[in-house]
A and B are shown apart, each in its own frame.
Chain A
């Protein structure tokens, strides 16, 4: 039971981080379908930081530096989306998809190159972080607390505050609703959209490192992040682009994802004797059903997905 809660919270943290990323980006008017790829690149940045940082440094520094590395790589990677879709008015769906493919391919190539350079016989695409991972978790009795749960909570509150209580957030949202109107009152739409995408990159990168730290101590990069970037987008839509609702939606999705890891521990579920693939499919099936029920009255930012053109009315 405690294990279920623990997994629910950690998966929900991943989903909240990434969905908030999508939320910033879409409120500024750019659909970020590349979150999956951004997660992979962020995970790569964080994993490499963990690998190369001396193990002797204090835990808090390890956590902060790895998280920062993940966020920075995420921001840098998301600028590819920003350049293409904001400055060159590219189709956001194509560029997002390209970022997803590029993320997995580039991460695999880089990790394999690093592994092979260290040991010519090693052609695996895995990064190990058994020792560093211990610094991210503290045991509270049987419950394993992960520092990312706290980081997520802080960023969640920050997102609510920024979006609804600051000038920046309100301007950002104006750019997603009606960029021409925003521009007419002196807001720089390009700048706002750039910041939306870059923030989403940072959050996506954090989500990526959080994802690979969730359960295991090594990660094979060719696997990517198993559709979590898209699950996060489903969470965001279900959460109607509002941080608080996103958090609730993420908890629900996190619960079903956690169930697939821990259902063996429950007498009545194990007794049902369902094949494990059912539990693997569960988060995706639920998200489809939920989307079918909630998309009709979607409160999506009105101008999302449309490249900003000054001359358009």
Chain B
């Protein structure tokens, strides 16, 4: 009976993800062994422990809250990548759309003193607008979405730096603190913070992100619109033949994807947890980590929630390594390795099915004897 369980796609996806994680950790461990043999195990362990590194229970709870706060934008970015990937598009511009979202949200909050809800909507529109460019170029001009996405990332980065320079702190390269200058735009906590030892940054963004994940799942698997999108992804020409507006579907999927990414930026920056640095030399890594989370989550919106948390967990854990021996980028190394191994997921699944089929064949043979 065990075999039938192993055959279910859910179990297979989970096994494949776990194999990717273990392989990523092992290779990273080997790399660390080369750098400093004595501290390698401690470093990996510290990364995996993250908030468990703190001795007091209250601190642990608080830092658990922080990791959750930072997981929210990652979940959103991962969902953004996922949404377009289901339509056969690789939205590597998620980082740029996230950047556009944070630019819109922070500018509206700090300059125009909008409330939090309009800020979120504005951020969604900004992300959607940027993604729409990619979509139109792809649908009507056949421009590779990966390359146009990357180009727009850089354009958006420089634009954001210029725009947000207007609302930055005069003494530092960071934008003004939203708590002090735009309290009306801070996301309400609704008492959620109290659950995490009064962590003020835990806000309604957390449940909202989970709601979005469920919504993406429902749209993709339970509605006609979602099926049309997926059909376009499988075979654009067949979709067209069946009377679906394939170009519209391509653009719509990217617009929604960009919208989710922009919303994610608002969900993070409107908590006041972080300020944007206007001298940044690259777009926020959130979108790229989102790619990791998407594939690690087995391309499932609900799986994405857990994989995002895991990626954020080890990213935060990166700052807990012994900095005299290793640098905090070690965790980036691990997540990059995990994505690399995610490329082998298809192969792992095929191999698993092959082994299962062989076993079954043997059983039948045994039964015949």
Contacts and interface: CB of A to CB of B under 8 A. Distances in A.
B343 A102 contact: no
Given A84-B340, A112-B327, A123-B327, A101 B335 contact: yes
Q: How many B residues touch the partner, as a band?
A: 35 or more
A262 B33 CA distance: 45
B271 interface: no
Interface string A269-288: 00000010100110011011
A224 B159 CA distance: 20
A109 B339 contact: no
B172 interface: no
Contacts of B340: 80, 84, 95, 98-99, 102
A165 B151 CA distance: 35
Contacts of B330: 109
A308 interface: no
Contacts of B329: 105, 108-109, 112, 222
A94 B92 CA distance: 10
B147 to A, nearest CB: 6
Nearest to A291: B143
B162 interface: yes
Contacts of A110: 35
A89 B348 CA distance: 11
A116 B36 CA distance: 11
Interface in A42-86: 80, 84-85
Interface residues of A, number: 51
B323 interface: yes
B161 interface: yes
A97 B346 contact: no
A295 B142 contact: yes
Contacts of B342: 94, 98
B332 interface: yes
Contacts of A291: 137, 141, 143-144, 147-148, 151
Nearest to A34: B340
A227 B154 contact: yes
B346 A93 contact: no
B30 to A, nearest CB: 12
A102 B31 CA distance: 12
B50 to A, nearest CB: 18
A113 interface: yes
B31 A109 contact: yes
A185 interface: no
A97 B92 contact: yes
B326 A237 contact: no
Contact of A106 (B31, B92, B155, B325): B31
Contacts of A89: 346-347
B343 A98 contact: yes
A127 to B, nearest CB: 14
Given A105-B332, A288-B137, 8 more contacts: A90-B343, A108-B329, A112-B329, A226-B281, A277-B162, A287-B151, A291-B141, A295-B143
The 10 closest A-B CB pairs, nearest first, are A90-B343, A102-B336, A105-B332, A98-B340, A101-B336, A98-B339, A112-B327, A230-B150, A95-B343, A277-B158
Interface of B: 31, 35-36, 90, 92, 137, 141-144, 146-148, 150-155, 158-159, 161-162, 281-282, 288, 291-292, 295, 323-327, 329-330, 332-333, 335-337, 339-340, 342-344, 346-347
9 contacts: A97-B339, A101-B288, A105-B329, A109-B333, A123-B327, A223-B282, A226-B281, A227-B151, A234-B147
